[in-house]
């Protein structure tokens, strides 16, 4: 999911007079389709939605492009790029939130910041980066071949399970 879409879930609703008609998002369309499927399909769809919901696509895309540009750079460069993106992910989510909040002419209090989205996006980015071929994370600890994929699946399970506790408007059962 894009950082913009992730941040939208944490913004307070706009005033009724400022609301304009909009197209349904992919998530809304997918959730309506999932309502018509079997319980097993719902479980698979929920797990997939958890993966997609927290992977910051702009950040992952930029990271992959920079890795490609660096080519055969030394491991220290690759670690530096990885750590830069891990540190910058929550900052990018926060800046996006603050810019969108400012457009609504409201001051964003620290308590209203998207803390969950900042943390979840950072964890999801690190797991996704670990799943990439020749990841610096896997090579550092000589981790097994399937480690990255397992990291993404476990991250999706954890984030998907915890999200109802932290997302505004989510059903808390």
Confidence of residue 54 (pLDDT cuts 50, 70, 90): confident
- Joined together, the tokens standing for residue 129 give 């980066």
Confidence (pLDDT) at 122 = 92
Longest dimension (CA), the chain: 57
Per the model's pLDDT, the better-predicted residue between 55 and 23 turns out to be 55
Exposed / middle / buried, residue 119 (Cβ in 10 Å: 0-12, 13-18, 19+): middle
Mention every residue, 6+ apart, whose C-beta is less than 8 A from residue 89.
56, 59, 118, 121, 122, 125
Task: Compute φ and ψ for 62, nearest 5 degrees.
Answer: -65, -40
* pLDDT, tens digit (0-9, with 9 covering 90-100), for 130-151: 888 878 877 776 777 778 788 8
Per the model's pLDDT, the better-predicted residue between 39 and 61 turns out to be 61
Confidence (pLDDT) at 86 = 94
Contact call for residues 67 and 132 (beta carbons, < 8 A): yes
Give me the residue spans of the domains in the chain: 3-14+21-166
> What is the rounded average pLDDT of the residues 154-166?
84
């Amino acid at each position: 999911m894009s950082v913009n879409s992730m941040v939208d879930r944490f913004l307070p609703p706009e005033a009724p007079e400022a609301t304009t008609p909009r197209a349904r998002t992919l998530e809304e369309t997918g959730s309506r389709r999932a309502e018509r499927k079997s319980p097993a399909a719902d479980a698979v769809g929920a797990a997939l939605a958890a993966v997609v919901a927290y992977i910051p696509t702009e950040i992952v895309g930029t990271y992959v492009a920079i890795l490609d540009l660096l080519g055969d750079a030394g491991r220290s460069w690759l670690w530096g790029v990885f750590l830069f993106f891990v540190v910058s992910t929550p900052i990018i989510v926060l800046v996006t939130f603050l810019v969108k909040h400012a457009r609504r002419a409201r001051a964003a209090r620290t308590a209203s910041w998207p803390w969950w989205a900042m943390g979840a996006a950072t964890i999801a980015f690190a797991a996704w980066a670990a799943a990439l071929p020749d990841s610096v994370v896997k090579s550092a600890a000589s981790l097994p071949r399937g480690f990255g994929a397992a990291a993404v699946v476990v991250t999706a399970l954890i984030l998907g399970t915890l999200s109802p506790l932290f997302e505004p408007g989510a059903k808390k059962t």
